[in-house]
Structure 1
Amino acid sequence: MSTIHDFKVDDWLRRLLPGRCAFCLAACESTAPWCQACHLALPWNLPACPACAEPQPAGSRARRCGRCLQRAPAFDTARVPLRYEGELRGLMQGFKFQASPRAGSLMLALLEDALRDKPCPQALLAVPLHPRRARQRGFDQARWLAERLSARLDIPLVVAQRRRDTPSQRGLDRKRRRGNLRAAFRVETALPPEVALLDDVMTTGATLDALARACHQAGAERVEAWAVARTPLP
């Protein structure tokens, strides 16, 4: 859970180097915490499948990938602005495994900037960790991001539950990931028609797909999947 101290840290980080890029320390011409050169150099997820955000070859036209044509995900669209590679990969590992507030604040700013001028849903849900896993890690990165994004975008935050502590998804293919997560989530609150789900990294989309199914059962009609970065598939 976040504390008042966490939000004070966010404010402190924003004031730490005013007018300086958080990546290269060059002067910034805008109020964003990055310079234009560093922003352009980030691994943007373009083009990408509009349904699942799977990265597509450079120069191609963004269209539904073959997997989504064969089996559409339970969510309607995915908004994942970056690819999990290069400098962003190191930034996200610092956030996920070391709970770096600097890395988390930068990721939050990048996601907020990518969602600017997009229609806001009526509720936001973070992909939940099982309580036992949360105690082991001591840090729930998706919840950390969701609490702050909810406040900044003025979207109500709804808490979902992980019904069972599923084995790690690492090393599993898409089909086995889906089976691993079947009926893994529960949403006890009645949901409004339009909701968004938030995770830090999206790999195959199986976790967000399983949570989207639970959201539909709780009354949601349209579900968007949000994440900071998408893992490029082989």
Structure 2
Amino acid sequence: MEKRANKATAKRRALGTGHGWTHWPRLALSGLDGGLRRVLPGRCAFCLAPGKSGQPWCQPCFEALPWNLPACPRCAEPQPPGSLAGRLCGRCLEHPPGFDRAWVPLRYQDEVASLMQRFKFQASPRAGSVLVAMLETRLADITCPDALLAVPLHPNRSRQRGFNQAEWLARRLAPRLGVPLRSARRLGDTPSQRGLDRSERRRNLKDGFDVAGPLLGRVVLLDDVMTTGATLDALAQACRRAGAEEVEAWAVARTPISQLW
């Protein structure tokens, strides 16, 4: 009987039950495949605890997300702790991008990176819905634009991936903002941007977009992840040629420069 009790205790500890219950969700999450996670509505997308007020996350996980603060207001590049709010980074002072402002609430790290990879490479609608919901929590103080435009993929790349993740996000965000969704097309199937520095990415994308005009007023460009900003920079220039007066760059997450090279 004692041996059986010891085995049961050991099993509970291994599973995170009993006194270790608070650690069970993260242990369970590591062992669940994406398909099972997608069929657990009402649960936190990060730890499987009950969601908060109908949201797909619990409060502790939401507060622990890598929020992009402080950040440069022009390019959303993460800044060191204690940096002055509203102060431009050195890169923007020296080489300002083609867009006027950037709004990227999260950093591409930890749980956000894992969620983004499930959305982007496994086409998980559950992950995509969580990303849209996270954007919406930070939109209360944002003035709605006159139009929303998703960063386009070349048709060849879109067929390979199966969908355009930026367009998927934009189609769900535009009606919630009450703004029209405009379109653009990528003129060439440019090589992968991975491994290229900022200047190489800009050369790779020069005159790479065509925007269906005319555009009026303030236009927001939407992407899933902002890396160096070169893609959004090139698309912003195309929007200005189509008549946009102001161009902002929005994304779910920003990759810190320190993670690139």
What TM-score does the superposition give when structure 1 sets the normalisation length? 0.90
Residue 220 of structure 2 is aligned to residue 196 of structure 1: yes
- Residues 114-153 of structure 1: CA distance to partner in whole angstroms, max 9, x if unpaired? 2223100010000000111111211110110011111211
Counterpart position of 1:21: 44
Provide the aligned length of Structure 1 versus Structure 2.
221
**Corresponding position: 1:31 with 2:57:** no
Aligned with residue 237 of structure 2, among 187, 190, 213: 213
- Measured on the aligned residues, the alpha-carbon RMSD in Å equals 1.7
1:103 counterpart = 2:124: no
Q: Which residue of 1 aligns with 2:165?
A: 141
Q: How far apart are 1:15 and its partner, in Å?
A: 9.9
Match for residue 53 of structure 1? Answer: 76
Relative to structure 1, is the Cα distance of residues 95 and 118 closer, same or farther in structure 2, using a 3 angstrom cutoff? same
Q: Deviations over 1:8-34 (max 9, x none)?
A: xxxxx999534x433223334423322
Structure 2 counterpart of 1:124, from 123, 148, 155: 148
Q: C-alpha offsets along residues 70-98 of structure 1, whole Å, 9 cap, x if unaligned?
A: 01111111000000010111110011001
Aligned to 2:5: none
Instruction: Note if contact 2:213-2:243 (Cα within 8 Å) is conserved in structure 1.
Output: no
Letter in 1 for 2:101: T
Q: Distance in 1 between matches of 2:116 and 2:107?
A: 11
Q: Distance in 2 between matches of 1:100 and 1:15?
A: 11
Cα drift, residue 207 of structure 1: 0.3
Letter in 1 for 2:131: M
- What is the alpha-carbon distance in structure 2 between the residues aligned to residue 132 and residue 97 of structure 1? 16
Q: Which amino acid aligns with 1:44?
A: W
| Paired letter, 1:81 | P
Distance 1:156 1:131 in 2: 23
Q: In the alignment, which residue of structure 2 is the partner of 1:9? A: none
User: Could you tell me how far apart the structure 1 residues matched to 2:161 and 2:144 are?
Assistant: 31
Query: Normalization by structure 2: what TM-score?
Result: 0.81
Shift in Å at residue 155 of structure 1? 1.1
Percentage identity across aligned positions? Answer: 67
2:89 to 39, 50, 65: 65
In 1: Cα distance, 2:51 partner to 2:122 partner: 27
Moved more, 147-156 or 196-205: 147-156
Provide the C-alpha distance between the structure 1 equivalents of 2:150 and 2:131, rounded to a whole number of angstroms: 15
Given the alignment, which residue of 110, 134, 138 partners 1:86? Answer: 110
- After superposition, give the CA deviation of every residue in 1:162-213 in whole Å (9 maximum; x if it has no partner): 1111111110111111111000001122111111000000001000000000
Displacement of 1:159: 0.7
SS class of match (1:72): coil
1:169: which partner in 2? 193
Q: Distance in 2 between matches of 1:30 and 1:59?
A: 33
Distance 2:58 2:66 in 1: 15
Which of the pair has the greater relative contact order for Cα pairs under 8 Å at 6+ separation?
1
Greater fraction of residues in helix: 2
User: Aligned equivalents of 1:79 and 1:54: distance in 2?
Assistant: 10
In structure 1, stretches of 5+ residues that fail to align are 1-12
Q: Distance in 2 between matches of 1:75 and 1:208?
A: 8
CA change 1:148–1:29 in 2 (3 A) is closer
Q: Which amino acid aligns with 1:94?
A: R
* More moved, 129-138 vs 46-55: 129-138
CA distance in 2, matches of 1:125, 1:17: 30
